[in-house]
Amino acid sequence: STIQASLRQGRAQVNGRSFSSGSAPHRKVAVLGAAGGIGQPLSLLMKLNPLVSQLSLYDIAGTPGVAADVSHINTRSEVTGYVGEDQLGKALEGCDIVIIPAGVPRKPGMTRDDLFNINAGIVKGLCTAIAKYCPNALVNMISNPVNSTVPIASEVFKKAGTYDEKRLFGVTTLDVVRAKTFYAGKANVNVSEVNVPVVGGHAGITILPLFSQATPTANLSDEVLTALTKRTQDGGTEVVEAKAGKGSATLSMAYAGALFADACLKGLNGVPDVVECSFVQSSITELPFFASKVRLGKNGVEEVLGLGALSDYEKQGLEALLPELKSSIEKGIKFANQ
Ligand code: NAD
Ligand code: LMR
């Protein structure tokens, strides 16, 4: 695609024009948790992105090796590894985008909310440092439970006086990636052409794929649509069970995280009509945060797009998810303020 073509040419596409790597805007991107299961392949994919000029890899352990390894790849960005809390400030200084896959993953039998006790504190600490060292960065939150870690980040930023709702994103791109893959399999259409919005949140029934809006269209039965919805909602658990104790999705997540960060970079660079689903501050439902299609621009969120027409099945799904999503959001807000 664009990234591969640009890589071959050693050029970056910005705003429809093509720049040699030297003249594309300077963009510093940090990955926090860069030595982890997601962090390593995500660091690789960000190293392949010609829109990045500086790649900052941070973890509490193991980053020097990952950074040395990735830095040998002959693409535009300069790579630096940072390890341990006293190097976090340097890792963050001047960042345009901070991607956060730091935290523990699920094991079979766990819900994402079971990760709250450990990951809430990790996210709180990292966001406190972001407020101090790069308050204007776009934050791409991957750490689970996303339905709570995004509200935690917002509260930390509010306390620090740096909160800008346009710059905080829960990464739900993997739900969209899955919905596209599963839909293409049933609809018998070219997977690379499929679009499916996924709204709500990022856990179980709060993940609501809107297959009634999927394109290319296909005439799928209610049974098939129900099965596709459930498979998308349980996609994370499918991987957790298949990995049988060795963690959760890392490779598909790295792909999804790289896709979302690329969309954020394009938005920052002024590319028009960049639209991705993300869990953001929102007024399209009664909840303060909600995932939906979002237009990305030079300041982050340019516009939170509405839900569009829903089928009766999707309307029921929306009603059913609101209480769980509400309580996960409130849990995050409460934690950040205690
Ligand atoms: P992992 O255990 O393989 O890696 C996590 C990394 O975070 C480790 O390298 C660890 O050292 C690091 N870390 C821990 N505390 C840190 C801190 N304070 N600062 C910086 N780094 C720190 O886990 P993983 O499989 O990479 O998953 C990471 C997180 O992403 C989990 O919470 C998981 O649930 C979540 N996840 C989210 C999605 C999504 O769609 N949003 C998808 C998959 C996984
Ligand atoms: C996913 O959707 O794969 C992630 O949220 C990880 C998980 O725990 O399922």
The Cα-based distances of 172 to 56, 57, 125, 202, 337 in angstroms read 23, 22, 22, 6, 25
Length of the chain: 338
pLDDT given at position 163: 98
pLDDT tens digits, 289-332: 999 999 999 999 999 999 999 999 999 999 999 999 999 999 99
Q: Given the residues 27, 202, 231, 266, select the one marked as catalytic.
A: 202
Residue 12, token pair as written in the block: 């970056």
Instruction: Give the pLDDT confidence score for residue 115 in this predicted structure.
Output: 98
Could you tell me which of 237, 181, 180, 240 has the C-alpha nearest to residue 205? 237
What is the arithmetic mean of pLDDT over 32-61? 98
Report pLDDT for 72. Answer: 98
**Confidence class of residue 146 from pLDDT cuts 50, 70 and 90?**
very high
Predicted local confidence at residue 7, as pLDDT: 45
Give me the pLDDT at residue 313, please. Answer: 98
Q: What is the pLDDT of residues 165-223, one digit of tens each?
A: 999 999 999 999 999 999 999 999 999 999 999 999 999 999 999 999 999 999 999 99
Q: What ligand is nearest to the CA atom of residue 128?
A: 1
**Pick the residue with more confidence: 11 or 123?**
123
* Ligand 1: centre distance to CA 79 (Å): 20
Q: Is residue 14 pLDDT above 90, yes or no?
A: no
pLDDT confidence bin for 22, thresholds 50/70/90: low
pLDDT digits (tens, 9 = 90+) for 85-144: 999 999 999 999 999 999 999 999 999 999 999 999 999 999 999 999 999 999 999 999
In whole angstroms, give the CA distance from residue 54 to residue 6.
17
Q: CB-based contacts of 39: which residues, under 8 Å, 6+ apart?
A: 31, 33, 57, 59, 66, 101, 102
**d(CA 74, ligand 2 centre) in Å:** 32
Active-site annotation holds for 72: no
Cβ of residue 239 lying under 6 Å from some atom of ligand 2? yes
List, as residue ranges, the binding site: 33-39, 59, 106, 112, 119, 142-144, 178, 253
- Beta carbon of 170 within 6 Å of any ligand 1 atom: no
Residue 125 Cα: closest atom of ligand 1? 18
The interface predicted TM-score of the complex, written ipTM, equals 0.99
* Atom of ligand 2 at shortest range from CA of 144: 5
Secondary structure of residue 107 in the 3-state scheme: coil
Q: How far is CA 164 from CA 135, 157, 197, 228, 250, in A?
A: 9, 8, 25, 35, 29
Q: Is the pLDDT of residue 11 over 70?
A: no
Distance separating alpha carbons of residues 264 and 220, to the nearest angstrom: 33
Q: What is the pLDDT of residue 16?
A: 45
